[in-house]
Chain A
Amino acid sequence: MPGLLEIKNLSKSFDATKVINDFSMEVTEGTLCCLVGPNGAGKTTTMDLVTGRIKPTSGAILFAGEDITAKHEHVIARAGIGRKFQVPAVLKNLTVRQNLEVAYSRQTNPFWNLFKFHKAGLKEKLDEIATLAGLTTRLGEQAGILSHGETQWLEIGMVLMQEPRLLLMDEPIAGMTEGEIEKTARIFKDLQKTATLIVVEHDMGFVREIADVVTVMHMGSMLAQGSLQEIEANPRVRDVYLGEKEAA
């Protein structure tokens, strides 16, 4: 059975610099894959390519067997890929409730939405996610006044409201407390029952806790892929990444 997401020989150059170089990976449905690698390895660029924010120079991306290479962002999102950005991106001038409501994007057609005032199932879903994200008391607040940690949770909540099949989480625990990190790990494991996750993360402790599969990127290419034990035993990974990390 092919993976839910297949990246085939992907390359991306900005001017003369190759940022992603013949990168291939496959993510099996229902797994939680951690994408790790030193700064500048091309992790966020890969996310940008998958979600259509930038177009690849060559190569292909398949989602659930369908070619989504260079499709528009909203088309890819509708196909079932949700994304949390590295720098939390929420709609600052709207309330927390409105943020979650917009993210509940089952009907995306502008014409039909003109006549939509109540969305079926919204209330239940919103209550569920708000509780999960710990934002029930903050629903009426403007998203712009939330603390950094709360903003992270709001954006995770927004991605969950989308009910995607594949979730891309770019550094989800940055700025969170120990307790919040544990909670995030629990939620991610829980999500895995219904969705597939790719998590970009630097914190190896967190990766150890959640990852089924770890993919290591280096200089825009795949360095290694496997279970955490395999990765930690891999001498090449040790050289470029783990060694560097421990030295630092």
Chain B
Amino acid sequence: MGNLYHNKTAQWLVYTAFFLGLAVIPSFVSDDFLLNQLATYGVYGMLALSISLCWGFGGILNLGQGIAFGLGAYGMAMTMQMQSQTESNPIPPFMLNNSLDQLPWFWEPFSNTAAGLILSIAVPTLFCAIFGGVMFRARVSGPFFAIMTLAMLSAFYTIILDRQPYTGGVNGITPPSPLQLGGFEIDPYSSTAYWIVLAILVTATVVAKLITQSSFGLVTQAIRDDAERVRFLGYSVAGYETAIYTISGAIAAFAGCCLVMLVQYVSPAQLDVGFSLSMVIWAAIGGRLSLLGAMCGAFLIQGAQSYLGDAFLATWLLILGGFFIVVVRFLPNGLASLLESALGLLATKPKTPAAETNGDAKPLPAE
């Protein structure tokens, strides 16, 4: 007892401080391009958060988070693209180039911004609920589920690449103007865009944190430990797994929307296998058991990649791969677990009686 790391109040305080720190950034950064780049880190943070929730707390390794992320991103790109289309010019140019003379049916709803935004979140969330439901009910778990998500991701990547007239193929979709929301234009290089991303990140984090502290969160952690045992306590394991996988997918869908709002571009690269795996690397290095740890992992690695990596991308990836191996081998719970042990040392020192009983229990059963 008494490790500050596990103290809920302390955790909330650290989270508050962390986000306050992020909130004051725009007042110090005058470079619009830098601010835009920092905002994209918020997107990576959401992705790491979603992986930590699903994998760290739910024990479900998801190598296909790019599906929800990518579908969200495509939804947003379609919405923004349709905002630029008019009565006289109802069809996006890339479709005309692919000799399509009518707007495909599934593009129609995106003409309405509200409907488009809702679909951008609803479609990926629904996909996760269905795919997760099917897989978990069949009791596909562990490495198998990871492989299946990978397969599904490849399938989506393939189909988006292949259906060029409808998706823009390898070129993707480049909406010509920024997102219009309720008559305002959201300039991706403004602090408004930064605030929006931060607000979504904060909301997602608070929701995720509350989930981990709820009864639901406790059951998912129990399932991570021993799914078989939890079934006999009366919980539908498949239901819980589907739920956490779907919530995590919804967060990734929000991340996808934010990214396109910031960069005005989407391509199959968002569904690239390598990108989904790097989300897992962020969470693993930062610490998948800590939401904040995973987010910091994303900031750390993506930050290092853009500042060191531009010049030596190949070397950087080599180092990252090596570092990742070392973390998996020696520090399975990531950098956050270093902090946990450090605070643990502080906590047990003054309480000698507690430390003694601990010592007794470990090597041998009492007596």
Contact = CB atoms under 8 A, between A and B. Distances in A.
A149 B361 CA distance: 12
Given A89-B226, A94-B221, A147-B366, 10 more contacts: A74-B237, A77-B234, A85-B229, A93-B225, A115-B214, A116-B216, A117-B213, A119-B215, A141-B361, A147-B365
Interface stretch (A17-25, A27-35, A105-113): A105-113
Given A89-B229, A91-B222, A94-B225, A78 B214 contact: no
Contacts of A92: 225-226
Interface string B353-366: 00001100110111
Nearest to A103: B233
B366 A74 contact: no
B243 A162 contact: no
A74 B226 contact: no
A98 B222 contact: yes
6 smallest A-B Cβ distances: which pairs? A147-B365, A77-B234, A73-B231, A113-B216, A116-B215, A113-B215
Contacts of B215: 107, 113, 116-117, 119
A204 interface: no
Contacts of B225: 91-94
Contact of A91 (B216, B226, B361): B226
A240 interface: no
Nearest to B211: A114
A102 B243 contact: no
A54 to B, nearest CB: 12
B232 interface: yes
Contacts of A226: none
Nearest to B361: A145
A83 B228 CA distance: 12
A101 interface: yes
Contact of A110 (B210, B240, B357): B240
B214 A114 contact: yes
A183 interface: no
Contacts of B365: 147-150
Given A110-B216, A113-B215, A117-B213, A74 B361 contact: no
A66 B127 CA distance: 36
Interface of B: 1, 210-211, 213-216, 218-219, 221-222, 224-226, 228-237, 239-240, 243, 357-358, 361-362, 364-367
A94 to B, nearest CB: 6
A98 B361 contact: no
A195 interface: no
Contacts of B357: 137
Contacts of B214: 113-117
B216 A102 contact: no
B232 A51 contact: yes
Contacts of B236: 72, 74, 108, 110
Interface residues of A, number: 45
A158 interface: yes
The A interface, classified by DSSP as helix, strand, loop or mixed, is: loop
Most chain B C-beta atoms within 10 Å of own C-beta, residue among A53, A93, A99, A114: A114
A110 B239 contact: yes
B234 A74 contact: yes
20 contacts: A53-B232, A73-B231, A85-B229, A92-B225, A94-B222, A94-B225, A101-B218, A102-B219, A103-B233, A107-B215, A110-B216, A110-B219, A110-B239, A113-B215, A113-B219, A114-B243, A140-B1, A145-B362, A147-B361, A177-B367
A110 B362 CA distance: 35
A162 B239 contact: no
A146 interface: yes
Interface in A83-136: 83, 85, 89-94, 98-99, 101-103, 105, 107-111, 113-117, 119
Contacts of A101: 218
A73 B232 contact: yes
A121 B224 CA distance: 26
Given A108-B236, A141-B361, A77 B216 contact: no
A158 B222 CA distance: 13
Given A140-B1, A147-B361, A83 B216 contact: no
Most chain A C-beta atoms within 10 Å of own C-beta, residue among B210, B211, B215: B215
A90 B243 contact: no
A73 B230 CA distance: 9
Nearest to A147: B365
Contacts of B218: 94, 98, 101-102
Nearest to A81: B232
B366 A114 contact: no
Contacts of A111: 243
Contacts of B234: 74, 77-78, 105, 108, 162
Contacts of A113: 214-216, 219
Contacts of B243: 110-111, 114
B233 A162 contact: yes
A51 B228 CA distance: 12
A21 to B, nearest CB: 25
Most chain A C-beta atoms within 10 Å of own C-beta, residue among B221, B233, B365: B233
Nearest to A118: B215
B219 A77 contact: no
Given A110-B219, A113-B216, A119-B215, A77 B231 contact: yes
Contacts of B235: 74, 105, 108, 110
